[in-house]
Amino acid sequence: MLVSGNEILQKANKEYYGVGAFNFVNYEMLSSIFEAANEANAPIIVQASEGAIKYLGIELAVGMVKILSSKYPHIPVALHLDHGTSFESCKNALEAGFTSVMIDASHHQFDKNLEITSKVVQMAHKYGVSVEAELGRLMGIEDNINVSEKDAVLINPKEAEVFVKESKVDFLAPAIGTSHGAFKFKGEPKLDFERLEEVKKLTNIPLVLHGASSIPEYIKESFLSTGGDLKGSKGVPFEFLQEAVRGGINKINTDTDLRIAFIAEVRKVANNDNTQFDLRKFFTPGKDAVKKLVVERIKILGSDNKI
Ligand code: PH4
Ligand code: ZN
């Protein structure tokens, strides 16, 4: 059933588990995510970025989610706008049927971010739609970074407290050292868990981890074995995800892992049979790989059997 993000994440916050938020850009990715949620008996968030919406068309993005959620009526699903860049973008999404939106004004100064976020919250709450905002910058932190450099990049817990109180935002994405894509850490993976715990203590709302892909060894291997190149790639280890959930993260964004898993299978088919041009022969193994990966992540986050 299509529900608001709040319905899914307030429960996760109370019961201390993490819900997977998976990006989709086509039917294959989306249906694999639903199949995985069904297998794991888990609530799920499916999310589309502005780029995904442009690629698919907003009607199709919403339509596919509605059709799939009526196929699996027992699964609580929220359709979330990922990294909405403006009030208009959030308005378009909620008018089209999204049940959750992110306004990402984190590149602005604190006051401006607060002003834009508050406006979106006022509008979205009239529709019963939940809102996510972000504070800090999504960037890896190196071992040799000093305190003031770190403070300039990562979330400030005291600011987070004021931001949440004044904006009435439902979920907050704190920058604690993750970044998007396949190359998250130059040295050893490192996240600021102390800062996370401080933010949770002061806000007590569901928190969101962006850039949470793990690039598990078997997915990497699968991509490399087909002649792909992922030199220097590094993701967020599974134990870090679990520590983040213990520290107050309830929504975990994953896109890169799914892309790599899917494309590795497509590459395999292309390499193994250069006469093949039946799309289904390429996409079926891709879908199976994505489903397996999503089930695995749901279990790591602890949202399996939470329906
Ligand atoms: N996201 C995904 C952003 C995708 O414009 P676009 O469609 O490329 O945007 O918000 C994440 O946090 C994903 O993190 P990941 O890269 O670690 O999977
Ligand atoms: Zn993100």
Please state, in angstroms and as integers, the Cα–Cα distance from residue 2 to each residue in 15, 44, 284, 290, 296, following that order: 21, 10, 26, 22, 23
Query: 228-245 burial, b for 16+ CB within 10 Å, e for fewer?
Result: eebeebbbbbeebbeebb
Phi, psi of 163 (to 5 degrees): -60, -45
Q: Is 82 in the active site?
A: yes
205-249 confidence digits (pLDDT tens): 999 999 999 999 999 999 999 999 999 999 999 999 999 999 999
Q: Pick the residue whose CA is nearest to atom 15 on ligand 1.
A: 211
pLDDT of 134: 98
Verify whether ligand 1 is closer than 6 Å to residue 245 (CB atom).
no
Evaluate whether residue 218 is within a structural domain.
yes
> Which pLDDT belongs to residue 147?
87
210 within ligand 1 shell (Cβ under 6 A): yes
Distance of CA 33 to the CA centre of its chain: 13
Pocket flag, ligand 1, residue 118 (CB < 6 Å): no
For ligand 1, what atom is nearest to the CA of residue 82? 10
Domain housing 62: 5-301
Q: Which ligand is nearest to the CA of 181?
A: 1
Percent pLDDT > 90 in the chain is 96
The CA 275 to ligand 1 mean position distance, Å, reads 33
pLDDT at 143 over 80: no
Task: Give the pLDDT confidence score for residue 140 in this predicted structure.
Answer: 87
Q: What is the pLDDT of the chain when averaged over all its residues? A: 97
Give CA–CA dist 17/28, Å, rounded.
Answer: 27
* Domain assignment present for 139: yes
254 Cβ closer than 6 Å to some ligand 1 atom: yes
Confirm whether 61 is domain-assigned: yes
- For residue 273, count other CB atoms closer than 10 A to its CB: 12
Q: What is the DSSP letter of 280?
A: H
* Virtual torsion, Cα 75, 51, 186, 296, nearest 10 deg: 20
Q: Any idea what the CATH number is for the domain that residue 73 is in?
A: 3.20.20.70
CA gap 281, 207 in Å, rounded: 39
46 domain-assigned: yes
Quick check: is 231 in a domain? yes
Q: Which of 173, 207, 161 is closest to 12 using CA atoms?
A: 207
Amino acid at position 27, single letter? Y
Whether 47 lines ligand 1, by a CB cut-off of 6 Å, is no
pLDDT in tens, 90-131: 999 999 999 999 999 999 999 999 999 999 999 999 999 999
Ligand 2 geometric centre to CA of 106 (Å): 11
Helices (H), the chain: 5-15, 27-40, 50-56, 58-71, 87-96, 110-126, 147-153, 157-167, 193-203, 217-224, 238-246, 256-272, 279-301
Contact, 239 vs 280, CB < 8 A? no
Task: Tell me the pLDDT tens digit for each residue of 70-93.
Answer: 999 999 999 999 999 999 999 999
Domain membership flag for residue 49 = yes
**306 falls within a domain:** no
What CA–CA distances, in Å, run from 244 to 1, 23, 139, 234, 272?
28, 20, 16, 17, 40
pLDDT tens digit string along 35-71? 999 999 999 999 999 999 999 999 999 999 999 999 9
What is the average per-residue pLDDT within 261-290? Answer: 98
Domain count, the chain: 1
- The CA 210 to ligand 2 mean position distance, Å, reads 4
* Cβ(259) – ligand 1 distance below 6 Å: no
Q: For ligand 1, what atom is nearest to the CA of residue 236? A: 17
**Would you say residue 257 lies in a domain?**
yes
Contact residues for 280 (Cβ-Cβ < 8 A; gap 6+): none
